Structure 1
């Protein structure tokens, strides 16, 4: 007897689409806990089994992580990002640093060529936010602010393929930055990104690429084999 593909109900597909939209739009950011199953049932007006099927489908695709006793969390913004997270979870930290350097150097070079006044306004604001996060001493806030600045630099390249690839790799890169920064911020590890933003503002492609690629290469792997240690880390 030949195997046939089971058909998912149209209602379940609609719920999956709605939940995916919440994730991809940023309404449910990566790292956040989504509403509980009873809350989703009430909000969507569907049966518990339909909600459960939709959540499991998105977990299978790598967008959600179901943690027993804690809740369900957003771990990726697309199916490809979920695959990237699983594929590179145990990658060599030095290789991740080198990949980040290559992507960000090219993005910064293109940003210096193509940036708009709107891009510069955003980069300036995010640079200030990053500096304030560092001054606050909150490591998690700094990691988030640093990631936002780097994503804005890539977006300013106005290369849709590069921007999407960087977004899909985003949690891989952020997880290694989080491990590198650790639980507390160290003054000796701060990297000033003001020169990077200035190079993009001045449309200096060579200097922008150099600033973007400088920090990840001054690194080595720590004795535990998991952390990238740099003379100047901090993003």
Structure 2
């Protein structure tokens, strides 16, 4: 028989506070009552309240501002990113790519350096020649799109793109296997146009070209 698990008071207090946040008792950005108020409400000591607050701060729900108090920074515990991606359908992933990459293409056109241009052109050439296998083609395609994300010089957009890549990779491989065809002159020409808009510093055209390309992919996968 498994032993009875005793849940620490701080864990219990954290869950009660979290439920109160979820219920809407405190709004986003609102300051919580002080420890002397919360402690009797929760039936615990002030040190337990402090530990509960530390737990919720670590989970992204609360934040402590020195000299100001404790404030609500999220209305629930953020779900694990990998779990979100595993549950998401592929169309949702493509829609996220559209949002990320169209903005990144615009930024890349404004911020790209000579080094970025060399990297984009190299990735484009590798993509053109990646014909030995579907896996090689998908990886080369991803590397090309990533070169534009790098040229945007926005680490958050790049991190989001990298987070989506594993979820998308297998789906693209499976789709192309069903089609029994991949690449081709027309497909590559679209990527050439996207590269050229970034290299030519045409931010509006870069965003439009990226959005158009990925919207076509969304239709193909829907």
Is residue 85–residue 172 contact of structure 1 (8 Å, CA) maintained in 2? Answer: no
Alignment of 1:39-54 (within 5 A): none
Tell me the secondary structure at the aligned position of residue 119 of structure 1. helix
Q: CA RMSD in A?
A: 2.5
CA distance in 1, matches of 2:168, 2:148: 15
TM-score normalised to structure 1 length: 0.54
Q: Does 1:182 align with 2:180?
A: no
Shift of 1:180: 2.8
CA distance in 1, matches of 2:162, 2:102: 16
Higher helix proportion: 2
Tell me the secondary structure at the aligned position of residue 122 of structure 2. helix
Tell me the secondary structure at the aligned position of residue 147 of structure 2. helix
CA distance in 1, matches of 2:144, 2:218: 24
Partner of 2:116: 119
Partner of 1:105: 102
Q: Does 1:156 align with 2:151?
A: yes
Partner of 2:137: 142
CA distance in 1, matches of 2:218, 2:207: 21
Alignment of 1:64-75 (within 5 A): none
Question: Per-residue displacement from partner, 1:73-101 (whole Å, max 9, x unpaired)?
Answer: xxxxxxxxxx5443222422222221111
CA distance in 2, matches of 1:96, 1:103: 11
Shift of 1:122: 0.4
Where does structure 2 lack aligned partners over 5 or more consecutive residues?
9-79
Question: Per-residue displacement from partner, 1:106-128 (whole Å, max 9, x unpaired)?
Answer: 00000000000000000000000
Where does structure 1 lack aligned partners over 5 or more consecutive residues?
5-82, 223-227, 230-235
CA distance in 1, matches of 2:195, 2:167: 24
CA distance in 1, matches of 2:186, 2:86: 24
Moved over 6 A (4+): none
Is residue 85–residue 164 contact of structure 2 (8 Å, CA) maintained in 1? Answer: no
Partner of 2:161: 166
Question: Per-residue displacement from partner, 1:16-68 (whole Å, max 9, x unpaired)?
Answer: xxxxxxxxxxxxxxxxxxxxxxxxxxxxxxxxxxxxxxxxxxxxxxxxxxxxx
CA distance in 2, matches of 1:105, 1:168: 17
Tell me the secondary structure at the aligned position of residue 203 of structure 1. coil
Shift of 1:191: 4.6
Partner of 1:201: 199
Is residue 85–residue 171 contact of structure 1 (8 Å, CA) maintained in 2? Answer: no
